[in-house]
């Protein structure tokens, strides 16, 4: 029962010695139909890791090559998005419903950016990851390579954008710290960010595996996926505060009753329903970690469970249909 | 006794025909998932090798390739050559049977797989090298060689979308040519670039072969097969022949080609024909020095018997031309009634014209035959590839050597002195 890998460097000795040396150990690749659910050949992935880096590098390079602004877009896109959603928030009245931390309201652009930072990454995973296989058809039909790398590389290039965007966000936070003369500061909970990033990666990879394989099998998804992300930004409560899913207590004359920290006293709270969305816990988690809002534990646990499921399901579905990619693509 | 480098045992590959092979429609799947959930889910797991609308691209193919052997895979379009290469390259999975590859495999089914038009030549060398399975250090080491071989040095930092197609192909092939696998699977990628570069590629290929690499090589050029391969397998509608000598393989291939386009001459497509008139060319027979054959040794007799029918109503002084074209599509000989005999003829119900060529001094290779019926300067009916002959080696110069198709068109005896 072998899924031999194609190039284990151990046997890669000079070719001239192959003539007339019958007993040399050649690595054996056995080609046979595979049945049922197929495991992941981790050894093969590791031995081909350079290829993954090349594919990431290609995606990054190609993305910004033709644009006049080039890589500046990695910064401009989140900034403009923040600007747009800040304006929408001011007009729609979301802006004054943010959670107040220690009596200090979070500057609304920072609040929006804290949610957009993970969301823009997840959006690339859904859009780009989903189309990654159908857009790289020659890599499926003309050559063999570990196909898991194709959606993985798309996530890899999204990481580069995420990194640049994080730097911009850091600068923005610094600006507001200075501007508010230190009344607004990021929370100590920011130390939990690496864990949230890990969770975000797992969710993104799972989504990319699942959607890329499904898109090969069902081309209709090409048209459906853009709607998923357009709807997703609202369903995941990225660009408005989650407090709109709560009902504040009001006085007889319509004033919101506030506690000593300046936060509304709630008569009903429907936020836990967001736990059904695998990404809501991640987006809210980023806000809690960076801005110091209270953790939404139900959502966070929901994200951990659903993202893990998504990853396992995505991986196994991908492996399951991988053997038919070249026949279909 | 060492194990063969490649053992192929009972490999078969089925494709579902028609719509079913394309990706299933989302709507239909959702519908059937709602209607009969269990059955649909089971269908996902079903092995679709049974059933009627199935096309067997490969049927029970078995053979072995020894280490250091260069095996030519020949067959007509649709015979399953490319499918077999894809199975051996692990791109598609066989439906049944198995194959064992012993050694590091590289496959080259297309030049420039993964090339990105926006990236520069330099960047694409690295990317393509990695996709073909080279390590970064390996590409770095061979980088200069690759650039030199490709002759695109000046444009290394230009995006390849600005390359001419020739430059593109040269760069792509150069990367591939510097792979060092133990087993190499090559589709007809040599048919790229201009003649000079093709020559260079063939040279590189034979270098590779001298290094003891095991190679499976697909080509429609019998010339390339003859000059590169040590044995041949002939695929016919998915079935593989025994492994044969190159000579026997080419003969078997040409016999098949002669037996069909499977169409008799009267039904072959016409490049030109008389309006509202049934075809005139009815039959073409080829004779060698010992009777009917398609194998003509260099410098020996060949005859063509052309039968024309149902053209009593075609007016004018008619002429017949028999043209021979080499594999590059170059016209190398014309036998014409008017030029050779001052002969014209009138339309009748049936007429067979015999053309005898005392000696055919063409270099070895495959030649296709064109037939042209004309009236003065007007072509009335023309059939391209009405038949073909294979000119085979014959030691007419007495040295055991002959110029090949890349070096010359004809073989003319001469004397040397000093």
pLDDT digits (tens, 9 = 90+) for B350-367: 999 999 999 999 998 889
B90 lies in some domain: yes
Any CB–CB contact under 8 A between A145 and chain B? Answer: yes
Cβ of B91 within 8 Å of Cβ of A143? The answer is: yes
The answer to whether residue B247 is domain-embedded is yes
The band of B192, judged by pLDDT with boundaries at 50, 70 and 90, is low
B367 and B311 assigned to the same domain: yes
Q: Closest CB to B94: pick one of A33, A55, A62.
A: A33
Residue of B414 and B206 predicted with greater confidence:
B414
What stretch of H or E contains A28? strand A28-31
Q: Which of A49, A237, A215, A51 is nearest to A126 (CA)?
A: A215
From CA A188, how far away is CA A169, in angstroms rounded? 16
Test mutation, A66, A67, A144, chain B, max B CBs within 10 A: A144
Length of chain A: 329
H helices of B61-164, where?
Answer: 81-88, 121-131, 136-150
Q: Could you tell me if B190 and B307 lie in one domain? A: no
Tokens of residue A253, six digits: 């004359």
B253 falls within a domain: yes
Query: For tokens 């864990």, what's the residue?
Result: A195
Same-domain status, B110 and B135: yes
Q: Chain A neighbours among B 196-255 (CB < 8 Å)?
A: 211-213
**Residue A137 Cα, gap to closest chain B Cα (Å):** 9
Measure CA B251 to chain center: 15
Please state whether beta strands B70-74 and B214-218 pair in parallel, antiparallel, or not at all (unpaired). parallel
Q: Which residue of A has its CA nearest to B211?
A: A16
Cα A153 from Cα A158, distance rounded (Å)? 9
Residue listed under structure tokens 């747009």: A84
> How many CA atoms, within 13 angstroms, populate the side-chain half-sphere of residue A252?
0
Residues of B in contact with A327 (CB under 8 A): 15, 21, 92
CB pairs A-B closer than 8 Å:
149
> In chain B, what is the straight-line distance between the N-terminal and C-terminal CA atoms, in Å?
53
Task: Please indicate, yes or no, if residue B68 is contained in any of the structural domains.
Answer: yes
B258 pLDDT more than 50: yes
What's the domain count of chain B?
Answer: 3
Which of A137, A327, A329 best probes binding to B when mutated, by most B CB atoms within 10 angstroms? A327
Give a yes or no: residue B397 inside a domain.
no
Q: Which of B234, B258, B282 is the last residue of a domain?
A: B258
pLDDT (tens digit per residue) in A78-113: 899 999 999 988 888 777 777 777 777 788 899 999
Paired with B303 in beta bridges are: B287, B356
Query: Is there a single domain that holds both residue B144 and residue B254?
Result: yes
Q: For residue A7, what pLDDT is reported?
A: 36
Residues B23 and B82 in one domain: no
Same domain as B371, residue B301: yes
Is the pLDDT assigned to residue B385 strictly greater than 60? yes
Chain B hits for A51, CB-CB cut-off 8 Å, are 130-131
| Smallest CA–CA distance from A18 into chain B, residue | B212
Which structure tokens are listed for A241? 């505060």
Q: Do A62 and B116 touch (CB under 8 A)?
A: yes
Higher pLDDT, B119 or B263: B119
Residues B98 and B205 in one domain: yes
**Residue B357 sits in a domain of what CATH number?**
2.70.50.60
pLDDT of B180 reads: 81
Show the domain range for B122. 6-12+60-258
Torsional sign, CA B408, B412, B413, B418: negative
The answer to whether residue B208 is domain-embedded is: yes
- For residue B74, the domain's CATH number is 3.40.50.300
Residues B223 and B369 in one domain: no
* Final residue before a domain boundary, out of B195, B229, B258: B258
Whether A138 sits inside 8 A of B90 (CB atoms) is no
| pLDDT for position B60 | 93
Average pLDDT, chain A: 84
Residues B234 and B340 in one domain: no
Q: Are A189 and A285 in contact (CB under 8 A)?
A: no
Report the run of H or E that residue B382 belongs to, with start and end.
Answer: strand B378-392
CB atoms inside a 10 Å sphere around CB A25: 8
Q: Which helix (H) or strand (E) holds B58?
A: strand B54-65
Output the pLDDT for position B88: 93
In a domain, B87, yes or no: yes
Q: Are residues B214 and B269 in the same domain?
A: no
User: A227 CA to chain B: closest CA distance, Å?
Assistant: 16
Ranking A279-288, B12-21, B265-274, B387-396 by mean pLDDT, the lowest is B12-21
> How far is it, in rounded angstroms, from Cα A41 to Cα A172?
43
Q: Is B126 on the interface with A (CB under 8 A)?
A: yes
How do residues B159-187 score in pLDDT, each as one tens digit?
Answer: 998 988 888 888 888 888 888 888 888 88
- Out of B26, B113, B119, name the one closest to residue A58 (CB): B119
Q: For residues B253 and B220, is the Cβ–Cβ distance under 8 A?
A: no
A11–B113 C-beta distance less than 8 A: no
Q: Which residues of B touch A50 (CB under 8 A)?
A: 130, 135-136
In a domain, B114, yes or no: yes
Asked whether residue B195 carries a pLDDT value surpassing 70, the answer given is no
Residues on chain B touching A139 (C-beta within 8 angstroms): 113-114, 131
Claim to verify: residue B31 and residue B146 sit in the same structural domain:
no
Rounded to whole angstroms, what are the CA distances from B207 to B173, B200, B202, B257? 15, 11, 9, 31
Give the confidence band of A207 by pLDDT, cuts at 50, 70, 90.
Answer: very high
A279 pLDDT higher than 90: yes
Residues in contact with B179: Cβ distance below 8 Å, sequence separation at least 6, in sequence order: B106, B108, B132, B133, B134
Instruction: Check whether residue B173 and residue B313 sit in a common domain.
Output: no
Close Cβ partners of B121 (under 8 Å, ≥ 6 residues apart): B150, B152, B155, B156, B157, B158, B160, B163, B171
């Amino acid at each position: 029962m072998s899924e031999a890998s194609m190039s284990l460097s151990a046997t890669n000795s000079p070719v001239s010695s192959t003539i007339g040396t019958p007993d040399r150990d050649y690595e054996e690749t056995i080609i046979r139909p595979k049945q049922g659910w197929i495991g992941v050949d981790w050894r093969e992935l590791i031995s081909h890791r350079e290829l993954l880096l090349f594919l990431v590098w290609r995606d990054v390079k190609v993305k910004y090559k033709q644009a006049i602004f080039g890589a500046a877009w990695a910064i401009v896109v989140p900034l403009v998005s923040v600007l747009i959603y800040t304006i929408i928030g001011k007009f729609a009245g979301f802006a004054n419903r943010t959670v107040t931390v220690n009596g200090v309201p979070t500057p609304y652009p920072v609040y929006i950016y804290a949610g957009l930072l993970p969301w823009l990454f997840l959006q690339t995973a859904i859009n780009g990851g989903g189309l990654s296989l159908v857009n790289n058809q020659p890599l499926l039909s003309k050559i063999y390579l570990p196909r898991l790398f194709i959606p993985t590389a798309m996530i890899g290039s999204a990481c580069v954008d995420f990194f640049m965007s994080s730097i911009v966000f850091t600068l923005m936070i610094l600006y507001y710290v200075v501007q508010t003369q230190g009344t607004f500061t990021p929370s100590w909970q920011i130390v939990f960010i690496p864990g949230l990033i890990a969770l975000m990666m797992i969710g993104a990879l799972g989504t990319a595996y699942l959607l890329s394989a499904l898109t090969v099998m069902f081309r209709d998804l090409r048209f459906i996926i853009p709607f998923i992300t357009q709807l997703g930004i609202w369903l995941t409560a990225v660009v408005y505060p989650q407090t709109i899913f709560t009902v504040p207590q009001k006085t007889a004359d319509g004033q919101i009753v506030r506690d000593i920290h300046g936060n509304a006293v709630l008569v009903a709270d429907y936020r836990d329903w967001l736990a059904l969305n695998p990404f809501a816990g991640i987006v809210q988690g980023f806000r809690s970690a960076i801005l110091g809002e209270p953790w939404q534990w139900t959502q966070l646990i929901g994200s951990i469970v659903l993202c893990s499921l998504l990853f396992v399901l995505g991986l196994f579905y991908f492996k399951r249909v991988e053997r038919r990619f070249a026949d279909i693509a | 006794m060492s194990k063969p480098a490649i053992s192929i045992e009972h490999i078969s590959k089925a494709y579902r025909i028609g719509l079913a092979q394309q990706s299933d429609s989302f709507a239909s799947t959702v519908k059937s998932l709602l209607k009969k959930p269990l059955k649909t889910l089971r269908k996902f797991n079903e092995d679709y090798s049974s059933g009627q609308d199935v096309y067997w691209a490969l049927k029970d193919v078995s053979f072995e390739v020894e280490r250091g052997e260069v095996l030519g895979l020949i067959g007509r379009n649709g015979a399953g050559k490319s499918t077999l290469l894809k199975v051996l390259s692990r791109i598609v999975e066989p439906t049944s049977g198995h194959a064992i590859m012993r050694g590091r495999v590289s496959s080259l089914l297309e030049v420039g797989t993964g090339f990105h038009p926006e990236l520069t030549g330099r960047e694409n060398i690295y990317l393509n090298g990695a996709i073909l399975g080279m390590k970064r250090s390996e590409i770095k080491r061979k980088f200069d060689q690759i650039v030199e071989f490709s002759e695109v040095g000046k444009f290394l930092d230009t995006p390849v979308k600005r390359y001419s197609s020739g430059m593109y192909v040269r760069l792509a092939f150069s990367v591939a040519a510097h792979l060092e696998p133990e087993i190499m699977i090559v589709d007809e990628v040599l048919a790229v670039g201009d003649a000079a570069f093709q020559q260079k590629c063939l040279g590189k290929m034979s270098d590779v072969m001298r290094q003891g690499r095991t190679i499976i090589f697909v080509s429609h050029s019998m010339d390339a097969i003859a000059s590169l391969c040590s044995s041949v397998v002939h695929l016919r509608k998915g079935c593989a022949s025994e492994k044969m000598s190159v000579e026997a393989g080419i003969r078997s291939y040409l016999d098949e080609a002669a037996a069909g386009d499977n169409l008799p001459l009267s039904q072959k497509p016409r490049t030109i024909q008389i309006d509202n008139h049934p075809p005139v060319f009815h039959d073409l027979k080829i004779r060698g020095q010992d009777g009917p054959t398609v194998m003509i040794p260099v410098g020996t007799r060949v005859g063509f018997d052309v039968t024309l029918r149902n053209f009593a109503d075609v007016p004018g002084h008619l002429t017949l031309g028999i043209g021979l074209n080499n594999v590059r599509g170059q016209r190398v000989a014309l036998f014409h009634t008017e030029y050779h005999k001052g002969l014209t003829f009138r339309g009748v119900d049936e007429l067979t014209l015999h053309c005898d060529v005392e000696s055919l001094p063409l270099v070895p290779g495959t030649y296709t035959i064109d037939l042209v019926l004309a009236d003065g300067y007007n072509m009335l009916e023309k059939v391209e590839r009405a038949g073909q002959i294979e000119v085979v080696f014959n030691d007419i110069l007495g040295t055991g050597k002959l110029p090949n198709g890349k070096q010359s068109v004809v073989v003319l005896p001469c004397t040397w002195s000093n």
